Amino acid sequence: MAKGYVPDEKIYPSQSYGKLSILDMLRHFEDKGTMRISDLHLKIGLPPLYRIDGKLVRLKGPPLTQELVEQLIYPLLTDKTLAKFQDTYSIDSSYQVGSIQVRINVFRERDGISAAIRALSLKIPSIEQIGFPNDIWKDIISLTNGLVLVTGVAGSGKSTTIASLIEKINEQFPYRIIMLEDPIEYVHQQKLSAISQRELGRDVGTFADGLKAVLREDPNVVVVGEMRDPETIMMTLMAAETGHLVLSTLHTRDAAGTLTRILDYFPEGRQSEIVKSQLSLSLKYIISQKLIPRKNGAGRIVAMEILNNDYASANLIRMGKMEQIYTQMQTKTQNRPDQKMITLEKHLAVLVRDGSIDLAEAHRWANSVKAFEDEMKQDN
C-alpha cells in the first residue's frame, strides 16, 4: 500500500452500515457474490456505486469528496503505482481481499479522481459453469496451435471465460503456459501445467515486449490480455502461426466486427493483405459474448456467438468478405467438429425458450432484433 494510507481505516459515513473502510466496501463483493455484484465505482459528487446484476445502485450516504476518494483508493496502490498515476493520470492495478481479487482502474476526469473496481473471485469458475451453448470448449482446449479470441464489451466476462479455459488445460495437460495480463486477474495454481503470469508494468513493459520474450520461453499456450495495437496483433498472429495456442481478447460485440476491427488497424495495402492471410490461417475460433440478466433475478447468464474458422470462413476472411461471416454461423450449427457455430441471436432464443432470460431482455441485447425475431419464429 502507498505510504501514509491504511486500507482498514473507517472513513466513509454510510447511513445503513456506519463508517466504512475501503476493505469493508470490497468485502461486500465477497458477502454477496461476484456473480451478483461485479463493480464498485467511486466518483466525486456521488456516493459509492455498486453494479448489481448489471445496474448501478447507490450506497446510502453523502457524496464523495476528493479527500475521501484519495483516502479510499490510495491504500490499494503501491508507492510505485501511485507515482505512475500522478505522472500518467490513469493506471490499472490489482488487490486481494479475502477470497476476492479486484482489478482497479484509477483515472482523472473533470471532477477529480475516479475509480472503477472490478471484482473477481479467486475461485475460477469451471468451464461447465460458464454456459457454452455447445461443447466447443472441448475442441479449444485440445488445440496445440492457432488463435482463439474471446470478445465482448467491458464487463462481459471475457477474462472469466479465458481463465476457465486455461484452468481446464491446466488440469488436463502438462503444458507450459505463459500469461501476459494488465493486470493479473484470476490467479492460477500449478496443476499439470507450469504457469507463469506476467503483469504489465511490473514484470513486462508492454504486450508486444512480452510476446517477443515469450517466443524464446518455450510455451505451449500463450495468453495475451488484449490485442490493442498493430504491433501486438502482428506478434500474436506470429505466435499462433509458429506452433503455439494463443488466447486473447478484443472489445468488440460480434464475430464479424472482431475481424473488421483487427483489419482496421492496418490501412489497405500489402500489410493489410498479409494480415488477412495470416488471420485466415491462424484463427481457430471467435467467441463473442454478453452477460444477460436472468429471468429469476439471480445474477446474469452468458449469451455467446461462436465462429469456427473452417475452410469457407477462412476463405471469406482472406477475401475480406466479412459481411458473409454471419451466414456461416447461421447455417453451420450441427454438433460436428467442422461446425458447432451459433449466432448471438440464436443463443438468445434458446435462453428465452428454456426460461433463463426474459423476452424483453433478449430484444434489448440482440445485435440484430430482426435476426432474433426470425430465430424465435424458427424455434417455435
pLDDT at position 181 over 80: yes
Q: For residue 126, what is the DSSP state?
A: P
Question: What domains appear along the chain, each with residue ranges and CATH number?
Answer: 12-121 (3.30.450.90), 127-379 (3.40.50.300)
pLDDT at position 223 over 90: yes
Rounded Cα distance, 237 and 245, in Å: 10
For residues 380 and 219, the model is more confident at 219
Looking at residue 1, its pLDDT comes to 63
Q: Return the axis-axis angle of helices 270-282 and 255-264, rounded to nearest 10°.
A: 140
> Torsion angle of alpha carbons 358, 363, 365, 370, nearest 10°?
140
Query: 110 by DSSP, 3-state: which?
Result: coil
pLDDT averaged over every residue in the chain: 92
Looking at residue 78, its pLDDT comes to 87
Q: Which three cell numbers stand for residue 323?
A: 459481411
| Sequence letter at residue 281 | L
Task: For residue 308, give the nearest of 331, 281, 267, 340 by alpha carbon.
Answer: 340
Rounded Cα distance, 213 and 178, in Å: 10
pLDDT band for 194, please (50, 70, 90 cuts): very high
DSSP state letters, 168-226:
HHHHH---EEEEEESS--SPPPPSSSEEEEEEBTTTBS-HHHHHHHHTTS--SEEEES-
10-19 mean pLDDT = 93
pLDDT band for 142, please (50, 70, 90 cuts): very high
pLDDT band for 183, please (50, 70, 90 cuts): confident
DSSP state letters, 336-372:
STT---B-HHHHHHHHHHTTSS-HHHHHHH-S-HHHH
pLDDT at position 323 over 60: yes
pLDDT at position 159 over 70: yes
Distances in Å between the Cα of 84 and the Cα atoms of 107, 117, 229 are 11, 18, 22
pLDDT band for 35, please (50, 70, 90 cuts): low
Which pLDDT tens digit goes with each residue over 288-316? 999 999 998 878 899 999 999 999 999 99
pLDDT band for 30, please (50, 70, 90 cuts): confident
For residues 42 and 1, the model is more confident at 42
User: Which residue is it, cell 459474448?
Assistant: 289
Q: For residue 64, what is the DSSP state?
A: B
Share of the chain above pLDDT 90, in %: 74
Looking at residue 380, its pLDDT comes to 54
Rounded Cα distance, 282 and 284, in Å: 6
Looking at residue 101, its pLDDT comes to 84
Least confident segment among 22-36, 105-119, 266-280, 326-340: 22-36
Which pLDDT tens digit goes with each residue over 330-377? 999 998 888 999 999 999 999 999 999 999 999 999 999 999 999 999
Looking at residue 180, its pLDDT comes to 96
- The vertex-85 CA angle with 81 and 86, nearest 5°, equals 120
191-213 mean pLDDT = 91
Task: For residue 196, give the nearest of 172, 212, 220, 173 by alpha carbon.
Answer: 220
Which pLDDT tens digit goes with each residue over 53-103? 888 999 999 999 999 999 999 999 988 888 889 888 898 888 888 888 888
* Number of Cβ atoms within 10 Å of the Cβ of 305: 28
Which pLDDT tens digit goes with each residue over 234-288? 999 999 999 999 999 999 999 999 999 999 999 888 788 999 999 999 999 999 9
pLDDT at position 221 over 60: yes
Sign (positive or negative) of CA dihedral 247, 249, 253, 255: negative
Q: For residue 76, what is the DSSP state?
A: G
pLDDT at position 160 over 90: yes
